[in-house]
Structure 1
């Protein structure tokens, strides 16, 4: 019987993305699917490459099930900032959100609500990145929804355009064929069958995809409600001084 390789399949460096005044510095901020069950050798390579901090956006039950994983070693800080109450039924994901009728607009509205309700957690996460040393990896289960919202917040703070943020989110679409088998192996006991069945996934709507239009909708909704994507995070405590620190750490100037 073939053993599934549990190395992350949606791990990527945000380095090189265009932001206000320059690009994101390579090797400092990475987004990923679940890093808690990766092979020890893969984790060691990440540490050798400079990872010194993990921001875990999973729910408490997910973190309890698989733990912190092989990145939990001296010299690597672990921060659990849960963005949802559970993975199988976050309180504001209805049955309809998992149906074939779900559109990118629906997904974007859920993302906007998630950002608003978890603004304090997101503000803390941005602060941890700004104050960190070495590289930070942030992750959830698939590296798509919760990770996508966090990435959007950080990139917004750096002055990335809405198109850049949406395009980064949509990269996950290319990883989905490898992601679902990995999720089934890791989380079969937590996620409902309809989420894990490959044939069922094909008949589901935008919630199971990674469409740029979903992130575009989130950003548009937040601008309409608050004037900017970042305003709820600022209101929750993210200061201009912290944003300046974030830029100092993450931005390579055009010059």
Structure 2
């Protein structure tokens, strides 16, 4: 599926070579890319080899697992799925690999029932920007905890994922990238890249018990447009002063925020 034409003019900001390096190919994991190579407003780019974003991992093959462990050096998986998803779908071979798994659900409310069906009751009709705002509001503690895992050198490299690797994963990715000063157009472009894998992701998820009945790719909950992410980031800044301020308000210390920048940003040499 083609990339959103609204963002074609942003592609040169992160070179085509960099975009190619960001995708990590697997046999049975569809939507994995490195958060490295994205331009930072103050100069430099995000580092490769620190953090991966992904779709669900439970169908990984033995070869996929070997690639995650070496050469990617995976030590920690941050699972953003809800408990009922985890119970039904599990982790596949990752569970017995020695990788630390932290289940930190991204949800609309800490008091929610934590059932996947409650995340989006109608999968065919949803305001994604509004949904992302609700996920942000309901997940402060878990997002801060995810940041603390990412800045711990003993836990890297880190991979975070939900089901498709688009919505809950997209919210965490946006918070991380905005907090260290990545340009909004580059964050939106990263979000839209999932379009390239959405059909494969949709077909895989629709065959699993937790996600059966998904709409066609690029509709409803599976829609992906730059405008959704750009509006989410605009709201984040208008309502909270940006991701860095939001993280501080939710308990991240100034020193931890500095460590996040040091972890994710490669300065200009």
TM-based fold match above 0.5? yes
C-alpha contact (below 8 Å) 2:44/2:268 kept by paired residues = yes
TM-score, structure 2 normalization: 0.81
Distance 1:230 1:109, change over 3 A: farther
Aligned to 2:165: 143
Spell out the pairing of 1:1-255 with structure 2 (5 A cutoff): 7-19=28-40, 20-49=42-71, 50-73=73-96, 75-84=98-107, 85-90=114-119, 93-95=120-122, 98-99=124-125, 102=126, 106-133=127-154, 134-185=156-207, 187=208, 189-193=209-213, 195=214, 200-201=215-216, 204-205=219-220, 207-255=221-269
Report the CA distance between 1:94 and its aligned residue: 4.4
Compare 137-146 and 6-15 and name the one that shifted more: 6-15
- For 1:94 and 1:65, locate their aligned partners in 2 and report how far apart those are by CA, in whole Å: 18
- For 2:58 and 2:169, locate their aligned partners in 1 and report how far apart those are by CA, in whole Å: 15
Compare 229-238 and 109-118 and name the one that shifted more: 229-238
Give SS of 1:173's match.
helix
RMSD in angstroms over aligned alpha carbons? 2.0
> How many residues end up aligned between the 2 structures?
235
- For 1:16 and 1:37, locate their aligned partners in 2 and report how far apart those are by CA, in whole Å: 28
Q: Deviations over 1:75-124 (max 9, x none)?
A: 5211110113232322xx343x632xx5xxx2112101211221111111
Report the CA distance between 1:213 and its aligned residue: 0.8
Report the CA distance between 1:209 and its aligned residue: 1.3
Compare 76-85 and 228-237 and name the one that shifted more: 228-237
TM-score, structure 1 normalization: 0.85
